[in-house]
């Protein structure tokens, strides 16, 4: 008979299940000794393991299988998922029949995830005074709940409602609501849900996202390339969504990676100073990078910048394209050869391209100049003064061009 009862706040409360699992597995509590109950409302959080307890790590594939099982509608899904983690940590065996049930459940969850993502714009229709999306899905799992964040980003943060068998889910534009057909919908925290069966950005149709905040939030979950998995966080662009001037650099540096903001390190401080001398208010612009994660190699306690390669540039290209498409700047300033090559689609030599107006394929006026970090590397003080003055002159040219008629 179970000796431990764990209360979960809702039928897919992965956050409390995971916290309780870490505590219970650390104490080696067998699966048969635990009863998992759904207690809507303010269920108590599980106790955190003691610092003295032996920590353990779970392979990503194993934890994802557990998350997929929790998304199923198996009545004992929380017990099965716990048993999977318990067996991994303790080195015990899982009954073949249980493992087969989990794998079948995960297969169904993945299939429904693919269906929802691929057919989202067929399932959902837009109507009403506030352009609310609404649809119906005959789901047999909780995959729709786990993909609520995907839907919210893909639908550009617009309100949406989805009717499901016996339940409904709604994004109001501010919060996610969830409830049974015969009950009042209650707030559902995104971070309480299990991760979807596929990474959030997989199948995300970025060109169809029309809201810059939705693109930024989606980009923060991106782990497409190895560089993204090593960096502290995604460093997305910032500034006005209707900016007439857009600045694009190479990639965030160490300071930016920690702060989560572009151009805040030494090069960024020099950039801000040059903007003021050129008569440009940074708050009136949009500033971003070609690559959204810091690429580095460790050297002792330091992290040394490494130049972004073609693979990283290609992986981040959809995010940069979305920023440019949504903002539609009148002037696009390319800071350095990496940004210029990526945006012009060809190899660029700064000396040949800088300090002149370039008409881009969409009619935007482009200006190529050096990256401010270049100025920090000029060893001779007189040369550094000359190069800085030339950089400010390039920014003044861009400032003059922003007054031209929009494309």
In a domain, 82, yes or no: yes
- CATH of residue 170's domain is 3.30.1300
In a domain, 60, yes or no: yes
Together in a domain, 285 and 163: no
Q: Which long-range contacts (CB under 8 A, 24 or more apart) does 358-364 make?
A: 360/332, 362/407, 363/407, 364/324, 364/328, 364/329, 364/330, 364/331, 364/332, 364/407
Together in a domain, 339 and 361: yes
Give the residue, 182 or 208, on which the prediction is more confident. Answer: 208
What's the first-to-final CA gap in the chain, in angstroms?
A: 73
Asked if residue 360 has pLDDT above 70, the reply is yes
Together in a domain, 42 and 155: no
Together in a domain, 265 and 392: yes
Together in a domain, 239 and 358: yes
Asked if residue 71 has pLDDT above 90, the reply is yes
**Banded model confidence at residue 226, pLDDT cuts 50, 70, 90:** confident
Give the contacts of 91 (CB within 8 A, at least 6 positions apart). Answer: none
pLDDT, tens digit (0-9, with 9 covering 90-100), for 312-348: 999 999 999 999 999 999 999 999 999 999 999 999 9
Together in a domain, 109 and 123: no
**Banded model confidence at residue 42, pLDDT cuts 50, 70, 90:** low
Among residues 67, 93, 115, the one where a domain terminates is 115
Q: What percent of the chain has pLDDT over 90?
A: 83
Asked if residue 229 has pLDDT above 90, the reply is no
Together in a domain, 14 and 137: no
**Banded model confidence at residue 129, pLDDT cuts 50, 70, 90:** low
Query: Which pLDDT value is given to residue 56?
Result: 81
In a domain, 198, yes or no: no
Among residues 115, 148, 172, the one where a domain terminates is 115
Q: Enter the tokens of residue 62.
A: 């194993």
Together in a domain, 49 and 141: no
Q: What percent of the chain has pLDDT over 70?
A: 94
Query: Which pLDDT value is given to residue 331?
Result: 98
Counted domains in the chain: 3
In a domain, 407, yes or no: no
In a domain, 201, yes or no: no
Q: Per-residue b/e over 52-84, b at no fewer than 16 CB within 10 Å?
A: eeeeeebeeeebbbbbbbbbbebeebbbbbbbb
Together in a domain, 380 and 240: yes
In a domain, 373, yes or no: yes
Among residues 136, 170, 192, the one where a domain terminates is 192
Its domain, for residue 390, covers 206-401
Together in a domain, 394 and 268: yes
Task: State how far the Cα of 201 lies from the Cα of 308, in Å rounded to an integer.
Answer: 21
Together in a domain, 271 and 317: yes
Find the mean pLDDT for residues 194-203: 94
**Banded model confidence at residue 182, pLDDT cuts 50, 70, 90:** confident
In a domain, 131, yes or no: yes
Asked if residue 8 has pLDDT above 80, the reply is yes
Asked if residue 68 has pLDDT above 70, the reply is yes
- CATH of residue 366's domain is 3.40.470.10
Query: Which pLDDT value is given to residue 54?
Result: 58
In a domain, 259, yes or no: yes
**Banded model confidence at residue 30, pLDDT cuts 50, 70, 90:** very high
Query: Which pLDDT value is given to residue 191?
Result: 95
**Banded model confidence at residue 405, pLDDT cuts 50, 70, 90:** low
Q: Find where tokens 């660029």 sit.
A: 348
pLDDT, tens digit (0-9, with 9 covering 90-100), for 103-119: 999 999 999 999 999 99
């Amino acid at each position: 008979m179970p000796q431990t009862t764990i209360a979960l706040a809702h039928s897919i409360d992965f956050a409390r299940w995971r916290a309780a699992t870490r505590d219970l597995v650390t104490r080696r509590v067998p699966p048969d000794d635990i009863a998992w109950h759904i207690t809507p409302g303010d269920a108590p959080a599980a106790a955190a393991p003691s610092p003295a307890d032996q920590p353990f790590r779970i392979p990503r594939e194993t934890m994802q299988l557990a998350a997929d099982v929790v998304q199923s509608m198996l009545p004992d899904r929380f017990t099965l998922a716990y048993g999977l983690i318990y067996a991994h940590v303790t080195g015990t065996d899982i009954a073949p029949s249980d493992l087969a049930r989990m794998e079948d459940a995960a297969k169904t969850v993945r299939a429904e995830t693919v269906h929802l993502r691929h057919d989202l714009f067929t399932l959902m229709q837009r109507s009403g005074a506030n352009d609310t999306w609404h649809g119906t899905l005959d789901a047999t799992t909780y995959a729709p709940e786990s993909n609520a964040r995907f839907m919210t980003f893909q639908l550009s943060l617009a309100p949406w409602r989805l009717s499901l068998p016996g339940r409904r889910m709604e994004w109001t534009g501010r919060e996610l609501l969830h409830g049974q057909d015969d009950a009042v919908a209650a707030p559902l925290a995104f971070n309480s849900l299990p991760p979807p069966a596929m990474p959030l950005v997989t199948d995300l149709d970025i060109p169809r996202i029309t809201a810059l905040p939705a693109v930024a939030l989606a980009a923060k979950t991106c782990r497409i390339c190895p560089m993204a998995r090593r960096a502290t966080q995604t460093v997305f662009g910032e500034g006005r969504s209707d900016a007439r001037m857009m600045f694009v650099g190479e990639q965030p540096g160490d300071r930016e990676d920690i702060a989560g903001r572009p151009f805040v390190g030494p090069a960024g401080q020099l950039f801000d100073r040059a903007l003021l001398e050129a008569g440009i208010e940074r708050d009136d612009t949009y500033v971003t990078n070609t690559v959204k994660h810091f690429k580095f190699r460790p050297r002792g306690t330091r992290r040394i910048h490494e130049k972004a390669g073609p693979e990283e540039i290609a992986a981040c290209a959809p995010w940069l394209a979305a920023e440019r498409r949504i903002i539609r700047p009148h002037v696009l300033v390319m800071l350095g050869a990496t940004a210029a090559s990526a945006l012009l689609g060809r190899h660029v030599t700064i000396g040949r391209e800088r300090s002149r107006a370039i008409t881009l394929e969409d009619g935007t006026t482009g200006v190529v100049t050096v990256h401010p970090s270049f100025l920090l590397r000029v060893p001779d003080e007189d040369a550094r003064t000359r190069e800085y003055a030339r950089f400010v002159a390039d920014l003044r040219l861009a400032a003059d061009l922003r007054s031209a008629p929009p494309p």
